[in-house]
Amino acid sequence: MKPTSRLLAAGPRRLYLIGRGLLDESDRPLVAGIALGLLSTIETVIRTDVVIRPIAMLLGLAATLPLAFATRYVVPAAATITTATFLTALVYRWGPAVTGVVALLALWLPLVRRRAKRRRAEAAERDTEREQMENRLLELTARSERARIARELHDVVAHHISMISVQAEAARLTSPGMPEEGAMRLRAIGDTARTALTEMRRLLGVLREDTEDEPPTRQPQPGLQQLLDLIDQTRAAAKVSTRLIVRGEIVLLDPGVELTAYRIVQEALTNARKHAPGAAVDVEVRYTDDWLYVRVRDIGPGPVGKAKSGGYGLLGMRERVAAVGGKLWTGPAPGSGFLVEAALPATRAGHE
């Protein structure tokens, strides 16, 4: 079979694909415009009378040939094709020129597609920038919260170190007849404790550099004993029902654990006032041998839609709970409302 016969036997679709592959993408509008211009002359002869045929032929060419220049002059080509195609409806029988409509679609569909693609790309870029900004803000918030936790725990740790120094010195002075080696060891313990206390104060000064606008406080850090005062303050400020439920045998826990429990309840009550104003809140503290469970639930509508897990208040809670080796759960409560529940190690005061 001759090459020409084989090519014709391949079918029109394959010929179209072969021709499309031979043409560069920038040449396709040129070829399409010329082809549609030739077809428009045939359509003009078929669909118009002899009297208006010259005008119709000019309109048909104006509705198709500008497609050949659409690559470089897209705006004039679009305006000419659109106007001429609508005018052909006045001189052609049975509506506007088919070739004009084809040229119109061939011009506008890629433009609309490119515009939609560009908008999607811009939206994706904005989403990426917004996500990066949110992640950066969360990172800065986490650092600030860690510094705040360290400042608060400084008082707790400093108290323990001071007690080590005082007890070591008291043991040395109140133990007559103690061997010189034992007295030297107790003196070394006291000196080491005082040195550690000095380094702690220096560390606290570094942590305060980023928060110079916050005035230093000399009040003792709160614990579980101050929860009732916190509940009373919430009742007075929000004018809502707030209950404190305590279960188990109350014991004195490590000050760091009690401070963490207090801050969790404080932040959860603040969130309840902000997101569920007027809703009743239950605060439950349950003591067990190994864990202290803190549970705060508001009887509000709960989170609307898909709640984010990156709230700054919740982030602070997670940082505090992680600092003492505990666990935290937050989310919609069964039925309605929002639930914050933490499990903290029930380390007794004075024990490790």
Q: Note the pLDDT of residue 2.
A: 44
Q: How far apart are CA 207 and CA 150, in angstroms?
A: 8
Cβ–Cβ under 8 Å, residues 285 and 247: yes
H-type helices in the chain, by residue range? 3-9, 12-22, 28-47, 53-62, 74-91, 98-173, 180-207, 227-238, 255-275, 312-323
What does the block give as tokens for 61?
Answer: 């060419």
Q: How far apart are CA 187 and CA 191, in angstroms?
A: 6
pLDDT tens for each residue of the chain, 352 residues long: 444 344 344 444 543 444 444 345 566 788 888 888 888 888 888 888 888 888 888 888 888 888 888 888 888 888 888 888 888 888 887 778 888 888 888 888 888 888 899 999 989 888 888 888 888 877 777 777 667 766 666 666 666 677 777 777 777 777 777 788 887 887 788 788 777 777 766 666 655 555 555 555 555 678 888 898 888 888 887 777 889 999 999 888 888 889 889 989 988 888 888 888 888 899 999 999 999 999 999 988 877 654 444 456 787 788 888 888 899 999 888 888 899 999 999 887 655 5
Cβ–Cβ under 8 Å, residues 154 and 259: no
DSSP code at position 309: S
For residue 170, what are the CA distances in angstroms to 40, 164, 195, 206, 331? 110, 10, 18, 32, 51
Cβ–Cβ under 8 Å, residues 67 and 100: no
Q: What is the pLDDT of residues 152-208, one digit of tens each?
A: 666 666 666 777 777 777 777 777 777 888 878 877 887 887 777 777 666 666 555
3-class secondary structure, 141: helix
**In the chain, what is the straight-line distance between the N-terminal and C-terminal CA atoms, in Å?**
95
Q: How far apart are CA 107 and CA 29, in angstroms?
A: 9
Q: How far apart are CA 202 and CA 195, in angstroms?
A: 11
Instruction: Look up residue 267 and give its amino acid.
Output: E
C-beta neighbour count of 76 within 10 angstroms: 12
Instruction: Look up residue 314 and give its amino acid.
Output: L
Q: How far apart are CA 40 and CA 48, in angstroms?
A: 11
Q: Note the pLDDT of residue 15.
A: 38
Backbone angles phi, psi at 90, to 5 degrees: -85, -25
Nearest alpha-carbon partner for 93 in 162, 44, 24: 44
What's the pTM? Answer: 0.50
For residue 168, what are the CA distances in angstroms to 164, 190, 195, 215? 6, 6, 14, 34
